[in-house]
Amino acid sequence: MKEIFASNIPAAVAVIGLVCYFFGMAVVFIASPIKNAEKFSVKPVDNAGKTEIRVYYGGISFALGAFLLFLTIALKTPYYSLIGGLFFATTVLVTRTIFLFVDKGWKCPYTKLAIPAESAFVIALWVCFILANKLY
């Protein structure tokens, strides 16, 4: 495993960050779905909604992290997992930015945190991608 991550250090740093992020999100939303969903301006109307938060925010986050880790190990390089993470993170940021204006949510507290945090994360991933291509 150490050799795989050493094969492309910028990509490895990005993938480790992505996997930690997704696994962290999974734990947070599976363990305490309502409390954490409300921080994201999401509120279930009944217990099925609580399950959906666990499944989609928690379960899918876990699956994404596990898939990126699996892909890294299977292909013996973190490079393609970085590309997958770039697709995901960039798509989330672009979609959020577009619908921020459509839904007029720019004054919401969560949006004021999400846009700069996601932007910084996406920029960091792109920097890792550029370095991964230039250095390796």
Phi-psi domain of 41 (left: phi exceeds 0; alpha: psi -120 through 50; beta: other) = left
Q: How much is the pLDDT for 40?
A: 86
- Mind listing the pLDDT tens digit of every residue in the chain (136 residues)? 889 999 999 999 999 999 999 999 999 999 999 999 998 889 999 999 999 999 999 999 999 999 999 999 999 999 999 999 999 999 999 999 999 999 998 888 889 999 999 999 999 999 999 999 999 8
Q: How much is the pLDDT for 56?
A: 95
Q: How much is the pLDDT for 97?
A: 95
Q: How much is the pLDDT for 41?
A: 87
